Amino acid sequence: MVSGLLAAGHRVSTCSRTPSAFIEELSNGPLSANFRYSRLDMGDLTAYDAFLEASVAWGGPLYGLVNNAGMAMAGLLASSRDADSERILRVNLLGPLAMSRLAAGCFLRQRTGGRIVNISSIIGSRGYKGLAAYSSSKAGLDGLTRALARELGRLQVTVNSIAPGYMKTDMSVEFTQDQLAQIVNRTPLKRLGTPKDVVGLLLFLLSDAAAFITGQVILVDGGLSC
Ligand X SMILES: NC(=O)c1ccc[n+]([C@@H]2O[C@H](COP(=O)([O-])OP(=O)(O)OC[C@H]3O[C@@H](n4cnc5c(N)ncnc54)[C@H](OP(=O)(O)O)[C@@H]3O)[C@@H](O)[C@H]2O)c1
State how far the Cα of 69 lies from the Cα of 104, in Å rounded to an integer: 19
Which range touches ligand X (CB under 6 A), out of 39-47, 52-60, 146-154, 209-217?
39-47
Radius of gyration, alpha carbons of the chain:
17
User: What is the smallest separation between the CB atom of 110 and ligand X, expressed in angstroms?
Assistant: 25
State how far the Cα of 9 lies from the Cα of 210, in Å rounded to an integer: 17
Q: Does 45 bind ligand X (CB under 6 A)?
A: no
Look at the alpha carbons of 208, 160, 15, 102 in this order and tell me if their dihedral is positive or negative.
positive
Question: Which one among 35, 51, 107, 166 touches ligand X, defined by CB under 6 A?
Answer: 166
Find the helix or strand (DSSP H, E) in which 140 lies: helix 132-152
Question: Which one among 18, 28, 46, 79 touches ligand X, defined by CB under 6 A?
Answer: 18
Q: Does 116 bind ligand X (CB under 6 A)?
A: no
User: What is the smallest separation between the CB atom of 116 and ligand X, expressed in angstroms?
Assistant: 14
CB-nearer residue toward ligand X: 69 or 210: 69
Chain centroid to CA 133: 17
Q: List, in sequence order, the alpha helices (H) in 16-131.
A: 21-27, 48-59, 82-89, 95-110, 123-126
Q: Does 178 bind ligand X (CB under 6 A)?
A: no
- Selected catalytic residue, list 37, 48, 128, 134: 134
Q: Which of the residues 53 through 112 are near ligand X (CB under 6 A)?
A: 68-71, 91
**Residues contributing to the site for ligand X (CB under 6 A):** 15-18, 40-43, 68-71, 91, 119, 121, 164, 166-167, 169-172
